[in-house]
Structure 1
Amino acid sequence: MISVLIVEDDQMVAKLNKHYVESVQGFEVVGVANDGEKAWKFINHNNVDLIILDIHMAKVDGLAFLKEMRKKLIQADVIFVTAAQESETIDEGLKLGAVDYLIKPFEYERMKSALENYERRYHLLRKEHVIKQEDIDKITTKNPTHNQRPLPKGLHEKTLKKVRRYMQDHKDELLTSDEVAAELEFSRVTVRRYLEYLVSIGELTLEIEYGSIGRPSNKYKMRLNSEGVSVPTEL
């Protein structure tokens, strides 16, 4: 099991992050600290593989905490979780060796992805055999296929691209599977499967509309970032 320490001064956020981490197989939360001083005491008496570390905390902020870790040669890895979006702060954290950086508010799927990527790295770098280039490509973000995931059985890449492109072109609209199917000339059942897949990976949002007559209608819309731009998880 990969042992995790959560360092977060907001108790509700700490509780949520603990739930997120423990829902991913292979990870165990061994401690929760609500400030840097308590976190120091914990890592000085316990072995920790990964620290989920907030930047803005009382007493000792996250960047100062990580700097001190490096000075004292504490080898635990760090994923930063913060509301800070300043490029300089992010750059400094990455230069200090943070393996990932999550900006609040983030979706569960983004946390899950960060943990799964870390798990691959963790186990690969602890193997005794000689590491090959393809092994390194699996754990580095420079690999263009790094973020791609295999499609569920029965789904095809070409059809997925058409459905995704249509939803991106109509990113401001709430659409039913029937409406998308009619425009793309696919069956309703086929389109619904692709839309539900895009919801499952966080590219689309799903809203249920209750009418006065008949069954409720599922409507789909592209998930947008703060600038109103769709950000697909796969290309």
Structure 2
Amino acid sequence: MIRVMIVEDDPMVASINKRYVESIKGFSVIGIAGNGEEALKLMRNRDVDLIILDVYMPRIDGISFLKKLRQNNVTTDVIFVTAAKEIDSYDQSMAYGAVDYLVKPFEYERFKKSLEHYSMRRKILKEKDIIGQEDIDRIALSCGSEKEQSTPKGLHIKTLSRVRGYMLKNKGRLITADEIATALSITKVTVRRYLEYLESIGEIEIEVEYGAVGRPTNMYRHI
């Protein structure tokens, strides 16, 4: 049984998350904390395999809590379930070893898929002393959407998520590749490749802006 702790300051959301977790075979909620400070206290007396973690919380927020865990060499796995859509929150969560990041509101099926993927990942890592490329690909790719799994060769899922996240954050606004490149510290050439892919699958649209002089500029907008 995979032992889960939920760290969420909204009691109603925590209750829903608990029902979601316990509806999935092989998972059991062994504790609920209202913030990172409470969670740290609970973890002193309980063995936890997986933490369902929010970002926005009083006292110790989710990112700070995860940092404290890693600074204390606690390797407990974390899945973020949060309303935080900032690129920085996502980027830091991945840097500190979160295994997934779900943005509220989300469908139950996405939550279920995340936990089932985690269970598969855990099984592979516990049963094998040596991991092969096939196993790595299963761990890395099986939780992504069908669109992400069919991403063309040469495009990386993490970079795609960052570009996609920036477009979502600025939904409805026309943006240049230069702006995205500067904001995400990625080369303009790279940004254009990801924007062209997002345009090809219908997530964004391109408009050409003609200035008084010089070449026309491509402007990108999330649909």
**Hey, what does 2:5 align to over in structure 1?**
5
Q: Relative to 1, partners in 2 of residues 1:146 and 1:101: Cα closer, same or farther, differing over 3 Å?
A: closer
**Hey, what does 1:53 align to over in structure 2?**
53
Classify the secondary structure of the residue corresponding to 1:135: helix
1:84 Cα offset (Å): 1.1
**Hey, what does 1:132 align to over in structure 2?**
132
**Hey, what does 1:123 align to over in structure 2?**
123
1:138–1:146: 8 Å Cα contact kept in structure 2? no
1:81 Cα offset (Å): 1.2
User: Residues of 1 paired with 2:91 and 2:132: CA distance?
Assistant: 29
Classify the secondary structure of the residue corresponding to 1:131: coil
Classify the secondary structure of the residue corresponding to 1:28: strand
**Hey, what does 1:204 align to over in structure 2?**
none
Q: TM-score, normalised by structure 2?
A: 0.63
User: Residues of 2 paired with 1:91 and 1:146: CA distance?
Assistant: 17
Classify the secondary structure of the residue corresponding to 2:78: strand
Structure 1 residue ranges, 4+ long, deviating more than 3 angstroms after superposition? 145-148
**Hey, what does 1:110 align to over in structure 2?**
110
The RMSD of aligned alpha carbons is 2.0
**Hey, what does 1:19 align to over in structure 2?**
19
**Hey, what does 2:85 align to over in structure 1?**
85
User: Residues of 2 paired with 1:100 and 1:26: CA distance?
Assistant: 18
**Hey, what does 1:68 align to over in structure 2?**
68
Aligned pair count? 150
Q: Which runs of 5+ in 2 are unaligned?
A: 147-202, 204-220
2:124 is the counterpart of 1:97: no
- AA aligned to 2:124 is L
Classify the secondary structure of the residue corresponding to 1:73: coil
1:134 Cα offset (Å): 1.2
Identical aligned residues as a percent: 51
